[in-house]
Chains A and B, each alone.
Chain A
Amino acid sequence: MGSQGGFNQSKEFLDLVKSIGETRSKSEEDRIILNEIETLKRRINDPDIPKRKMKEYIIRLVYIEMLGHDASFGYIHAVKMTHDDSLLVKRTGYLAVTLFLNEDHDLIILIVNTIQKDLKSDNFLVVCAALNACCKLINEETVPAVIQQVVELLGHQKEAVRKKAVMALHSFHQRSPASVNHLVLNFRKKLSDNDPGVMGATLCPLYDLIAVDVTPYKDLVASFVNILKQVAERRLPKTYDYHSTPAPFIQIKLLKILALLGSGDKKSSEQMYTVIGDILRKSDTASNIGNAIIFECICCISSIQPSPKLLESAADAIAKFLKSDSHNLKYMGIDALGRLIRISPEIAEQHQLAVIDCLEDPDDTLKRKTFELLYKMTKSSNVEVIVDRMIDYMISINDSHYKTETASRCVELAEQFAPSNHWFIQTMNKVFQHAGDLVNPKVAHNLMRLIAEGFGEDDDAADSQLRSSAVESYLKIVDDPKLPSVFLQVICWVLGEYGTADGKYSASYISGKLCDVAEAHSGDDAVKAYAVTALMKVYCFEKAAGRKTSLLPECQSLLEELSASHSTDLQQRAYEFQAILNLDANAIENIMPLDASCEDIEIDKTLSFLDNYVQTALEQGAEPYISENERSGTLNISNITNRSPYEHPTHSLRFEAYEVPKPVVPTKLPPADTYPTELVPVSVPESSYQPTLSSGPDVGSGSGSNELRLRLDGVQKKWGKPAYSSSSSSSVSNFDSRTTAVNGATQSDHVTAKSRELRQPAVDVSEEKQKLAASLFGGKTGKPERKQSGSAVAHSKASRTTNHGEDKVQQPTTVTTAVQSPPPDLLDLGEPTGAVNSYSSVADPFKQLEGLLDLSQDGNAGTTSSSGPDLMALYSEPSGQNQKDNMNSAPNPSNHAASLSKGPNLKDALDKDALVRQMGVNPTSQNPNLFSDLLG
């Protein structure tokens, strides 16, 4: 009975915990804790506190920190506690320091010595405690101080120690890869440890090492496959079974490793096919853990060299996930689909309706995942639908992180696949209007550049059409008072540059608008600067064209205002404007040439026009110029400035200087948090600090989304229909000619057969959904850009969706709108419905703890509460009559069964009840939740 242990704390501490339990607001809680902090501050510095009391104080400090307050005043006492000889006290000390201190805390230096000592202890529990602390506390600097001892512990007779030693080395490797480099052989050896726990732990560091560089580990493929096979064949001890699945966590880790090893390596991959296929077949689809393994198999299959057979089984597994009623499985299905789609794009079409269901699901998590999938499968035929949906969703959410991400995805897709100029401008407008402040300013600058440079090669007409459509749309929305600053800057720039270019709008109209902008956003200097420069351009272009211009009165007043502005930038712009206006048309045309934003301005960097002047000066005896480099001697400034920002922290203590010899071979390892990059000169594929670098195969798909930059160089090829249709239509035409034959007689049979195989019969699908499906997956009928299908079947399926939309209604589909009861979920070990009812009956959640001290109604508690009767029964008076009544009155048979089947629990519960009574804590019908077993 473990629970007894906890109640031997002092009354004072129990009262604290209780009073925290009874608080109704955060401020009340804070007040109590601040009080407690004061008390502890006073007492903890008392020189002769008994150890037992001190231990409790430290646990109280942990409690304070846990509730989000600062207990740093007591850290030193926790550190002292680790020095104690008694393991009991030491253990508390270690627990506290691992919770209090981050790896870069100054106090750690005081613990290293103790850890060193404890690692040598002959009590394996002391060693375990020290190893636990190692994992959290030993940082890059202190690794050399303990590493030798930890390595020795790899050969300890207790498997618990070996396992923790492996994990400690693993954490050292994450912090300071170089220090563990020479130990790779030890990890390989530990892979064949007798104890499965140690073997399982060894997979963690190996996974990290392999993720960095696969090549040195290719020889292990056979071993990993062999281990995985043995695990799957239940060769491990029964204790590693989890819900009757053999060592699932080890299986998953192995699959992750195999995914890395097989990526892009046909030979290795072929060794894995059999075992992956076996596991995929054997895994229990009814249990959560079985599905976790299946999901990992799919990830592995999508990462290694594709095998048609495995892909097919993966697709079947995905179909099962998507068809499931469980939101979790649907989510995993969408995720898996996103991974598989890279290899076999046609698989998405089978699941189009399931995907659309997920897209319209009220669950935000599922919806987002589905958007991610859509993002991955966007192409020129469906970009409009997808981006429109994404923008709608982006408008509806508040989460700034996700909004930013969606916005940049929209921008990326729009510039890559936009079908027309008009659509592109409209889309960008929407993105900027609703998330302008969140998108990277670079996106705005690139948009300006895009408009200025145009897309078509030498197609001036298309360019100017793009510009006029931009101008037109901007004039429409410029009066909106809530536009984000970045967007206004773009608008001002475009209006200034191209507002009057096509002659549709007069200079005075444009300048009036620009003045309005400057006036409406008088607090935003950047916008005003853009506006006044735009005004200058508009007037200059007019004057250069020889048209009579006169400054609008509001423009005049704006200039006057800006001339006296506090911002020197605005002042300068205003004065320049006024000066330029007084020049003649010819000069203005030279200063402000029309549509020349893309022209290169040539700068004479050598300042050759000053040569004469210099010559004269030299002749008159002036000193010749000495370049800066020569003046400052050999000092190479670039060396200093290029140093990595992640330098060694400026601690003075160094352990590594004499201890670990640097390996001679240049190594390829990932940089840890504070590792100087100079020591890792070679390719660093998985740097956490460089999100734009494409990383390992597993993360590859996500990395694209991090790029905010418009891909300007690619645009000209990607943009516009000619490039696209020519390439895709030529490749598709093969299929077209081939499938038309199929399309005739055989098609319908073929399709129904296939759909029967894949889909359950279900209710009809709304017209709208079908349309959406068609536009997302099939492309529009007859459009040449239709997605290239991998197989004739998939292709005919796609065309069926679009051409025979009406038939579809009768076709069996996966869509089930009816709410069904969820499948038996092993995870929820029958959380009693009674308990759920009782939650809803509790109106104020904070009332729950109210009754903790209420003694008055203990006897009746069981019988009076109708909401959660059998739960309460566990804690009511141990009278047989009561129990029986409750069993009979239990409304839910499963509930009943649960309480019956948990035979010993009843006794436990009664014991617990007695204890609870002893401490004066008593359950009442008001607060059944705290007393209900977590496992139902």
Chain B
Amino acid sequence: MVELDDETAFPFFITLVTTSINLLLQIHFVLLISRQGKVRLTKWYSPYSQKERSKVIRELSGMILTRGPKLCNFVEWRGFKVVYKRYASLYFCMCINQDDNELEVLEIIHHYVEILDRYFGSVCELDLIFNFHKAYYILDEVLIAGELQESSKKTVARLVAAQDSLVEAAKEEAASISNIIAQATK
């Protein structure tokens, strides 16, 4: 899908390695890409410039979306590994270090998807398209600074619900205020 430009790709790799990658991180970034290569969510735990980000997405969607269904869920990429998993028409990708445990990361992805599923009630891509900010909030409860912070689905659900109840409360408040105003101005 995307032709890699060999001449520019190589120096770019060097800059990535020397300037921005913190190898202590377990997960360098999370990408959600649709089957058509559209970006649904990106979260960068290592610092990348906007230009680098576009390039990374372009390269990876070119590599991952073209892979057959029965192949490994991992691709080696610029000295890192990208673990991906397809759910319906959406690809969840996480970039990890060369010597990390790919199967574990595959399960971290699944863990996240199950939490999304519980939250949205059988989640589908459309939920994520229109509620990408919620997907971000949930991701922040699952991963922090590139590490899995909470492995209990229930705990995550409870925290997200606590935050949401606040949202609901605020909304009701706003509604009642506007009601009062509406009443008053009638």
Residues of A within 8 A of B (CB): 1-3, 5-7, 9, 14, 17, 20-21, 52, 59, 62-63, 65-70, 86-88, 91-92, 95, 98-99, 102-104, 125, 128, 132, 135-136, 160, 163-164, 167-168, 170-171, 174, 196-197, 200-201, 204, 208, 237, 239-240, 242, 247-250, 252, 288-289, 291-292, 295-296, 299, 327-328, 330-332, 362-366, 368-369, 398-402, 404-405, 438, 670, 672-673, 686, 688-689, 698-699, 702, 822, 827, 831, 835-836, 839, 845-846, 848, 902, 904-905, 908-909, 912, 916, 921, 929-936
A70 touches B162 (CB 8 A): no
B22 touches A934 (CB 8 A): no
Provide the bound-state CA to CA distance between A132 and B155, in Å: 16
Knowing A135-B145, A827-B85, A935-B113, say if A929 contacts B133 (CB, 8 Å). Answer: no
Residue of B with least CB distance to A247? B151
Question: A residues within 8 A CB of B76?
Answer: 365, 368-369, 402
Residue of A with least CB distance to B40? A66
Provide the bound-state CA to CA distance between A827 and B167, in Å: 33
Please report which residues of chain B, range 162-176, place their CB below 8 angstroms from some CB of chain A when the two chains form the complex.
162-164, 166-167, 170, 174
Interface string of B108-140 (1 = CB under 8 A from A): 101101101101111111110111111011001
Question: B residues within 8 A CB of A401?
Answer: 9-10, 13, 77-79
A387 → B minimal CB distance (Å)? 20
Knowing A68-B54, A289-B103, A935-B113, say if A822 contacts B9 (CB, 8 Å). Answer: no
Question: A residues within 8 A CB of B110?
Answer: 288, 827
Q: Report how many A-B pairs have Cβ atoms within 8 Å.
A: 273
CB-contact partner of B155 in A1, A6, A65, A239, under 8 A = A239
B162 touches A365 (CB 8 A): no
B10 touches A200 (CB 8 A): no
B182 within 8 A of A: no
Total number of B residues with any Cβ neighbor in A under 8 Å: 93
A438 touches B10 (CB 8 A): yes
B149 touches A201 (CB 8 A): yes
Interface string of B69-81 (1 = CB under 8 A from A): 1111111111100
Provide the bound-state CA to CA distance between A401 and B7, in Å: 11
Provide the bound-state CA to CA distance between A848 and B99, in Å: 38
CB-contact partner of A163 in B87, B131, B133, B150, under 8 A = B150
Question: B residues within 8 A CB of A905?
Answer: 121-122
B23 within 8 A of A: yes
Known interface pairs A331-B102, A934-B88; 9 further A-B residue pairs with C-beta atoms within 8 A, sorted by A's residue number: A3-B121, A5-B167, A240-B151, A292-B101, A400-B9, A401-B78, A688-B21, A933-B122, A933-B123
Question: B residues within 8 A CB of A7?
Answer: 130
Question: B residues within 8 A CB of A248?
Answer: 104, 107, 151
Knowing A328-B103, A845-B35, A931-B124, say if A3 contacts B131 (CB, 8 Å). Answer: yes
B27 → A minimal CB distance (Å)? 12
A6 → B minimal CB distance (Å)? 3
Question: Could you list 5 examples of A-B contacts with CB < 8 Å?
Answer: A5-B164, A167-B147, A327-B71, A934-B123, A934-B124
Provide the bound-state CA to CA distance between A451 and B72, in Å: 43
A108 → B minimal CB distance (Å)? 12
Question: B residues within 8 A CB of A702?
Answer: 98-99
A131 → B minimal CB distance (Å)? 8
B124 touches A933 (CB 8 A): yes
CB-contact partner of A363 in B57, B71, B130, B151, under 8 A = B71
A211 → B minimal CB distance (Å)? 8
Knowing A68-B50, A930-B89, say if A95 contacts B137 (CB, 8 Å). Answer: yes
B10 touches A934 (CB 8 A): no
Residue of B with least CB distance to A405? B79
Knowing A328-B74, A934-B87, say if A292 contacts B103 (CB, 8 Å). Answer: yes
Provide the bound-state CA to CA distance between A86 and B137, in Å: 17
Knowing A170-B145, A827-B85, say if A3 contacts B163 (CB, 8 Å). Answer: no
B36 within 8 A of A: yes
B3 → A minimal CB distance (Å)? 9
Q: Which 5 A-B pairs have the closest CB atoms?
A: A6-B131, A292-B103, A929-B89, A934-B87, A688-B23
Question: B residues within 8 A CB of A835?
Answer: 88
| Interface of chain A: mostly helix, strand, loop or mixed | helix
Centre residue among A163, A250, A835, A930 by max chain B CB count within 10 A: A930
B7 → A minimal CB distance (Å)? 8
Residues of B within 8 A of A (CB): 4, 6, 9-10, 13, 18, 21-25, 35-36, 38-39, 41-43, 45, 47, 50, 53-54, 57, 68-79, 85, 87-90, 98-99, 101-104, 106-108, 110-111, 113-114, 116-117, 119-127, 129-134, 136-137, 140, 144-145, 147-155, 159, 162-164, 166-167, 170, 174
Question: A residues within 8 A CB of B22?
Answer: 174, 672-673, 688
A2 touches B120 (CB 8 A): yes
Question: B residues within 8 A CB of A400?
Answer: 4, 6, 9-10
A364 → B minimal CB distance (Å)? 8
CB-contact partner of B124 in A87, A95, A398, A930, under 8 A = A930
Question: A residues within 8 A CB of B127?
Answer: 3, 6, 912
Knowing A104-B47, A934-B90, say if A365 contacts B72 (CB, 8 Å). Answer: yes
Provide the bound-state CA to CA distance between A135 and B104, in Å: 23
Question: B residues within 8 A CB of A404?
Answer: 10
Provide the bound-state CA to CA distance between A761 and B112, in Å: 40
Provide the bound-state CA to CA distance between A909 and B117, in Å: 12
A140 → B minimal CB distance (Å)? 12
B11 → A minimal CB distance (Å)? 10
B78 touches A5 (CB 8 A): no
Provide the bound-state CA to CA distance between A296 and B42, in Å: 28
CB-contact partner of A249 in B75, B85, B108, under 8 A = B108
B121 touches A839 (CB 8 A): no
A99 touches B136 (CB 8 A): yes
A839 touches B107 (CB 8 A): no
Question: A residues within 8 A CB of B42?
Answer: 66
B59 → A minimal CB distance (Å)? 10
B35 touches A929 (CB 8 A): yes
Residue of A with least CB distance to B158? A160
Question: A residues within 8 A CB of B45?
Answer: 136
Centre residue among B88, B101, B110 by max chain A CB count within 10 A: B88
Knowing A88-B170, A132-B144, A248-B107, say if A845 contacts B36 (CB, 8 Å). Answer: yes
Provide the bound-state CA to CA distance between A461 and B123, in Å: 75
Residue of B with least CB distance to A237? B152
A422 → B minimal CB distance (Å)? 32
B102 touches A699 (CB 8 A): no
Question: A residues within 8 A CB of B25?
Answer: 174
Provide the bound-state CA to CA distance between A170 and B143, in Å: 13
A365 touches B75 (CB 8 A): yes
A337 → B minimal CB distance (Å)? 14
Residue of B with least CB distance to A132? B140
Residue of B with least CB distance to A845? B36
Provide the bound-state CA to CA distance between A62 and B137, in Å: 13
A845 → B minimal CB distance (Å)? 4
Question: A residues within 8 A CB of B174?
Answer: 52
B87 → A minimal CB distance (Å)? 4
B36 touches A846 (CB 8 A): yes
B135 → A minimal CB distance (Å)? 10
Question: B residues within 8 A CB of A331?
Answer: 72, 74, 102
B70 touches A936 (CB 8 A): no
A303 → B minimal CB distance (Å)? 11
Question: B residues within 8 A CB of A296?
Answer: 101, 104
Question: B residues within 8 A CB of A67?
Answer: 39
Knowing A70-B50, A135-B145, say if A929 contacts B125 (CB, 8 Å). Answer: yes
Question: B residues within 8 A CB of A908?
Answer: 121-122
Question: B residues within 8 A CB of A327?
Answer: 70-72
Provide the bound-state CA to CA distance between A332 and B102, in Å: 8
Provide the bound-state CA to CA distance between A20 and B40, in Å: 11
Question: B residues within 8 A CB of A68?
Answer: 39, 50, 53-54, 57
A288 touches B107 (CB 8 A): yes
Knowing A2-B164, A6-B131, A839-B35, say if A930 contacts B126 (CB, 8 Å). Answer: yes
B122 touches A902 (CB 8 A): yes
